[in-house]
Structure 1
Amino acid sequence: MHIPRGTEDLLPEATEKWQVIENTLRKLSEKYHYKEIRTPMFERTELFQRGVGDTTDIVQKEMYTFEDRGGRSLTLRPEGTASVARSYVQHKMHGLPEQPTKLYYIGPMFRYERPQQGRTRQFTQFGIEAIGSDNPAIDAEVLAFAMECYEAFGLKSLKLVINSLGDHESRQNHRKALIEHFQPHQEELCQDCQVRLEKNPLRLLDCKVDQDHPAMKTAPSILDYLNEYSSNYFESVKKHLDAMGISYTVDENLVRGLDYYTQTAFEIMSEADGFGSITTLSGGGRYNGLIEDLGGPETSGIGFALSIERLLMALEAEKLSLETNAGIDCYIVSIGEEVTFTATELTHQLRQQGIRADRDYLNKKMKAQFKAAERANAKFVVILGENEMNEGKAQVKELATGEQTTVPLNEIATYIGGK
């Protein structure tokens, strides 16, 4: 019996690294004053059709959709923003006194796509959403947060790419220009792009099949169609980034893969050698209009999401390791059947006093128990024999130095804790 294609088991050695990453991201969230939200792993299918967009590859090709026993269409969440936005509307968070509402999430997402390095059908995203402000400074804060998510682990081969998708007026003008530009080449485009040309021509710029078509290189730039408000907004975002000393590159063809994006859009790339052909680590942007589309008041928002799997790939590419809190404080080596209950009592008492302790449960010989202590990366070994038990003492050996001391049983926790 094997797990489904596109999923993976995370064994203890791997989960220790994941815990380090998750704890670091949570601490960063606290520093930036973002609070955790947890939404269901499945939602009504309509949420993603309306929120993510009918013309996106996610909705058309990648969602895990099913009917429950009541005939309701449900979908495993393919991304986090739509669920957070739905929760924001449902629980009327716009009425909270503290605005903008700043939230973060960590959890599994699901997309049916061809499994490859860094892309699985179940993957884990960390993301943030800042909802309720249309100040360019909050855009810059989100971008700074995203960059620090990688810099906190020592990553250096990073590239921040930004663009503006404009407001509704700017996008409509750009849409007309794109249709006029691509219509003479419609028959030369892939089948998906032929449909996108009429429904959502901006999606053409994100196509992987036609990315080398000559018409893509000469396509009208959204930056040429920004109205005064959108242009000034984008310039202000860049000035805020400059004020923080954050380097960036403007890419006028960056559009992102979700329909809800407006104004600021961005991606963070890895430029490390050997990272792979898909260099995007994370991305996000502003989604003015999404809250309103889901039944809420007119509210602006911005956020980003990163894949923890791809973060691990970036660390590997830059040959960076994570310091895990592996190992235990002490391992109880018991000698003889007479002391087994005392060993159980001592192990329990040490744990109650905050000591990470373990013991042998396979009746191994003393030498084998020492080997087990080494494999467990124990700092100390507590040696308990019949004589020690009768005297109410034990031999405590520090494995790193070989120093061995006789310590009363009721003082072992204090002795180990003081080292």
Structure 2
Amino acid sequence: MPNQNLQDSLLNNSFDIVIIGGGMVGASLAAGFAQQNKSVLVIERARPDNDWLSQPPLRVSAVNRYSETWLQSVGCWNDIDKADKCQFNRLATWEKGTDKVEFSAEELQESHLGHLIRNEALQLACYSALEKNDSDKVSFMYGGQIDQVQNNTNNVIITGRTKDDKAFTVNTLLLVGADGANSKVRQLAKIGVTGWDYQQACFSITIKTNFATQDITWQEFQPSGPKAFLPLNDGFASLIWYDSKSTISALKGLSDQALKQAIIETFPELPGDFDIIQHASFPLTRRQANQYNNGRIVLVGDAAHTINPLAGQGVNLGYKDNATLLSLMQDSDLKDFDRLVKSLKRYTIKRKADSLLMSGVMDGFYHLFSNDKAPLKKARGVMLSLANHFSFAKKSVIKKALGF
């Protein structure tokens, strides 16, 4: 069983790996390093609580087939309860007033395209897997925060405060920043970022449906921004509304009944009636770390990159980061500074190229479709028509989205 909160006994402890951030990406990475028989410390804000799953879902990730396979390989997939994930077999996209372009698992001779999973379930499954595997290689500190790092050639010395405001010091051969878009690790490693804020915001609305669980997720492009439907289990679904910041702000102030009416008037017709359960909004940003490593420090997930969530590829990029890093660290001598840095540079080259490509594709779709300009509208019509008429093009697009 993983070691429990060590906040009172961390003075001068040493670990092969220290991971800051034990969310969906960080916790699964810890499971992978445990398989490599490396000692790991995960510093996370709060201990995951199974009671989280008793609440209606709000934050949901679209996990593609590549990510499913990788999560299985590190033992974190089977512990996701069926009630917390919804398999989808079809994906559709279209511009308002035009024909749908639909992709299906059957076309690809696949069992399904992916799963929509609440974020808490993904995180909890990783902790459950570690406990089931009786991994004494992974320790946790909950509520701690780091204040300084010394990035040396022979180790990284980390100092910080526990949740009880006690000073701690640990040293490690590799420090991983998996602490999100506002990464403290990235800041302390003196790694800069480039990027921008989009002019739109995203509004996520959880609904309770009075219709059967759907096997399709879809997205309609409108001049004001995309509108998407994500099916979930247990009679829930998630609606995603992209629009101007002022419009989203106004929507947040509506009563549930008024918001429901706005959805009916704006979204494509849903299969049946529904009720508003909860909602939240967040700004759309693009951030790219200038480099993914510095000495013995490396970044994964949102700490390294955030992209437009248009196709739900963010967490999948994070899992690809993990898979690449684990592969490079498998046979790497962490004590050998030159060899380690060489491996981390290879990681940066591989993962940054993939992230920039995905960011560019998402931005291209965003700018191409989120407007009502006549020339672009014509180009969109041609593009979608070609996708519908050339099966090889459709298959290439969907295979990329699935991570193949």
TM-score interval, normalised by the smaller of the two chains: under 0.3
Structure with larger RCO (C-alpha < 8 A, sep 6+):
2
Return the structure number with greater strand share.
2
Give TM-score, length-normalised by structure 2.
Answer: 0.24
Give TM-score, length-normalised by structure 1.
Answer: 0.23
Return the structure number with greater helix share.
1
